[in-house]
Amino acid sequence: MTAVRRFQHRPGATVWRALGYAALILGGLFPLLWMILTSFKSEDELSRFPVQYLPSHWSLHNYRLVFSEQPFATFFLNSLLVSVVSTALCVGIAALAAYALARLNLRRRGLYTTLIVTFSMFPVISLMVPLFRIMRGVNLLNTYPALILPYTALSLPIAILVLVAFFSGIPRDLEAAAMVDGCSRVGALRRIILPLSAPGVVTAALLVFVNSWNEFLLALSLTTRPAMRTVSVGVTLYQGEFSFPWPLISAAIVIGLVPIVLLIVVFQKRFVAGLAAGGVKA
Amino acid sequence: MTDRTVSSAPARRPRRELSEGQLAAVLLAPALLVLGAVLLYPMLSTLYTSLLTQKLTEPWLGTPFSGLKNYVQLVHDARFWTALQHTLVFGVLTVSGSFLVGVPMALIAHWEGRLRPYARVAMLLPWAMPPTFTALTFQWMFNGQYGVVNDLLVRLGGEARSWLTQPVWAATALILTIIWKTSSFVALMVLGGLQGVPRELTEAAEVDGAGSWVSFWRVTVPLLAPTLAVAFIFRAISALQVFDIPYAFSGGGPAGATETLGIYIYRTSIEFLDFGYGAALAVALFAVSLGITAVYVRYVRGDQ
B31 contacts on A by Cβ (under 8 Å)? 93-94, 96-97, 156, 160
Question: Average of pLDDT values for B5-19?
Answer: 55
A185 contacts on B by Cβ (under 8 Å)? 23
Q: How far is B84 from chain A (nearest CA, A)?
A: 15
Question: What pLDDT does B10 receive?
Answer: 47
Phi/psi-derived region of residue B232, left when phi > 0, alpha when psi is between -120 and 50, beta in every other case: alpha
Q: Where are the alpha helices (DSSP H) in chain B?
A: 2-8, 20-35, 41-49, 69-75, 78-110, 116-128, 131-141, 148-155, 167-195, 199-207, 212-215, 221-240, 244-249, 261-266, 275-303
Chain B residue with the nearest C-alpha to that of A7? B212
Query: What single-letter amino acid sits at B221?
Result: V
Q: How confident is residue A279, by pLDDT bands cut at 50, 70 and 90?
A: low
Question: What pLDDT does A278 receive?
Answer: 64
Taking the Cβ of residue B154 and every Cβ of chain A, the question of whether any pair is shorter than 8 Å is answered with yes
Question: What pLDDT does B15 receive?
Answer: 58
Dist CA A241 CA B180 (whole Å): 28
Question: Average of pLDDT values for B86-108?
Answer: 96
Chain A residue with the nearest C-alpha to that of B266? A125
Mutate one of B19, B39, B244 to test the A interface: name it (highest A CB count within 10 A). B39
B-facing residues of A in 45-64 (CB < 8 A) are 46-51
Q: How many helices (H) and strands (E) does chain A have?
A: 15, 0
The beta-carbon neighbor of A187 closest among B6, B104, B285 is B6
Residue A225 burial (C-beta neighbours within 10 Å; 0-12, 13-18, 19+): exposed
B-facing residues of A in 91-110 (CB < 8 A) are 93-94, 96-97, 99-101, 104-107, 110
Q: For chain A, give the percent of residues with pLDDT over 90.
A: 62
CB distance B35–A119 less than 8 Å?
A: yes
The beta-carbon neighbor of B185 closest among A110, A182, A282 is A282
Chain A residue with the nearest C-alpha to that of B142? A31
- Residue B242 near residue B87 (C-beta atoms within 8 A): yes
The beta-carbon neighbor of A185 closest among B21, B23, B121 is B23
Dist CA A2 CA B90 (whole Å): 45
Q: List, in sequence order, every residue forming a beta bridge with B274; answer none if it has no partner.
A: B55
Question: What pLDDT does A9 receive?
Answer: 52
Q: Where are the alpha helices (DSSP H) in A169-245?
A: 172-180, 185-188, 194-196, 198-214, 217-222, 231-234
CB distance B28–A7 less than 8 Å?
A: no
Q: What is the pLDDT of residues B147-165, one digit of tens each?
A: 999 999 999 999 999 999 9
Lowest mean pLDDT among A69-83, B120-134, B271-285, B290-304: B290-304
Dist CA B229 CA B303 (whole Å): 12
Please check the confidence at residue B295 and state whether its pLDDT lies above 50.
yes
Residue A208 burial (C-beta neighbours within 10 Å; 0-12, 13-18, 19+): buried
Query: What single-letter amino acid sits at B280?
Result: A
For chain B, what is the mean pLDDT? 89
pTM to 2 decimal places: 0.91
B138 contacts on A by Cβ (under 8 Å)? 31
Please check the confidence at residue A94 and state whether its pLDDT lies above 90.
yes
Question: Average of pLDDT values for B68-97?
Answer: 96
Question: What pLDDT does A180 receive?
Answer: 82
Chain B residue with the nearest C-alpha to that of A131? B42
Question: What pLDDT does B4 receive?
Answer: 44
> What do you get for the CA distance between the two ends of chain A, in Å?
32
Establish, for the pair of chains A and B, how many residue pairs have beta carbons separated by less than 8 Å: 313
In terms of residues, how long is chain A?
282
Dist CA A72 CA A65 (whole Å): 10
Dist CA A205 CA A194 (whole Å): 13
Please check the confidence at residue B20 and state whether its pLDDT lies above 90.
no
DSSP of B214-258? HHIIIIIHHHHHHHHHHHHHHHHHHHHT--HHHHHHTTT-STTTT
Question: Average of pLDDT values for B53-62?
Answer: 87
Q: Nearest Cα to B178, choosing from B266, B90, B84?
A: B90
Phi/psi-derived region of residue B94, left when phi > 0, alpha when psi is between -120 and 50, beta in every other case: alpha
For chain A, what is the mean pLDDT? 89
Dist CA B115 CA A47 (whole Å): 36
Please check the confidence at residue A118 and state whether its pLDDT lies above 50.
yes
Q: What is the DSSP letter of A245?
A: -
